[in-house]
Chain A
Amino acid sequence: MAPTVSGVAFAILAALCVGGAVGMLVARNIVHAAFWLLEVTIASAGLFLLLDADYVAIVQLLVYAVAVAILMIFSIMITLRRIEDAVRPRDFSAVAAALSTVFCASMLWVLRAFPQAPSQELPAVAPDVAALGKLLFSAQGWSLPFEIASLILTAALVGAVWWTKEGDE
């Protein structure tokens, strides 16, 4: 029997993702919005688990759900510390809504119009973490991009510290 993605689990996680995204957009309190984003990241980590991508799911939880959420909360705490700043006025933008609706509709139309023929069946071979690690650190594989990624992270960290340090302006 070919492996399948459970439809019920997918439906629940997809509803959690979309619901959390909508909640993030309509939340008036910006701290609530940050927690809705946290919920979306956790639900999408569940989707990654559903797709047998254990490593990506764990990284998603560690990086987004922990590190980014803490960063968000801290910068809300520093820049929007008064309650009048943190509770936003209702901002509905018709132009933005129209643009994103058009974008969404065209994407869904493209998906309908050009069906992905070879990808309806879930392939039997599931990628596991050991194979992923071997490919990630092999010289023929992804070790050079991996090193470049660490360089990018270092540069970004140093840049962020440089920008935010107390300077003599």
Chain B
Amino acid sequence: MRVGVEPFLMLAAVLFSLGLYGALSKKATVQLLMSLELMSIAVNINLVALSRFVTPQTMEGLFFAIFTMVVSAAEIGLGLGLVLAIYRQARTSEVTNLTELKG
């Protein structure tokens, strides 16, 4: 059976939508970060698949995927640091409880 680039793009779209649902609906900040992680995995699948099928010689998609991973590792590190800082201040890390700036 021959698999083109489209099944990969469809899989990435489905994964990204699941991550989007999680990012919009979850209440614990750690779960929000997990959903963001899922979205960035979906983006990486897209990049690697397009790189393999469209530019196999120059491998641009692979480099973009590597840099995406760097940025998302930085984002996860900072995000979890932020969660810990919020937890120390408010003794909770629920998104619904972070209402200090609410007008």
Q: Which residues of A contact B (CB under 8 A)?
A: 4-8, 10, 14, 17-18, 21-22, 24-25, 30, 33-34, 37, 40-41, 44, 47-48, 51-53, 55-56, 59-60, 63-64, 67-68, 71-72, 74-76, 78-80, 88, 91-93, 95-97, 99-101, 103-104, 107-108, 111, 115-116, 118-123, 125-127, 131-132, 135-136, 142, 145, 149, 152-153, 155-157, 159-161, 163-164, 169
Q: Say whether chain B's binding surface is mostly helix, strand, loop, or mixed.
A: helix
A121 / chain B contacts, CB cutoff of 8 Å: 4
Interface size bracket, B side: 35 or more
12 A-B pairs within 8 Å (CB atoms) are namely A17-B15, A25-B35, A51-B8, A53-B65, A56-B65, A103-B20, A107-B16, A111-B13, A116-B54, A153-B70, A157-B77, A159-B78
Q: Which single residue of chain A is at the shortest CB-CB distance from B24?
A: A96
The answer, among B4, B21, B31, B57, for a CB contact under 8 Å with A96, is: B21
Bound Cα distance from A164 to B84, whole angstroms: 6
Nearest Cβ on chain A to B3's Cβ, whole angstroms: 4
A131 / chain B contacts, CB cutoff of 8 Å: 59
Q: Which residues of B contact A (CB under 8 A)?
A: 1-11, 13-22, 24-31, 33-35, 37-38, 41, 44-45, 48-54, 56-59, 62-63, 65-67, 69-71, 73-78, 80-85, 87-89, 93
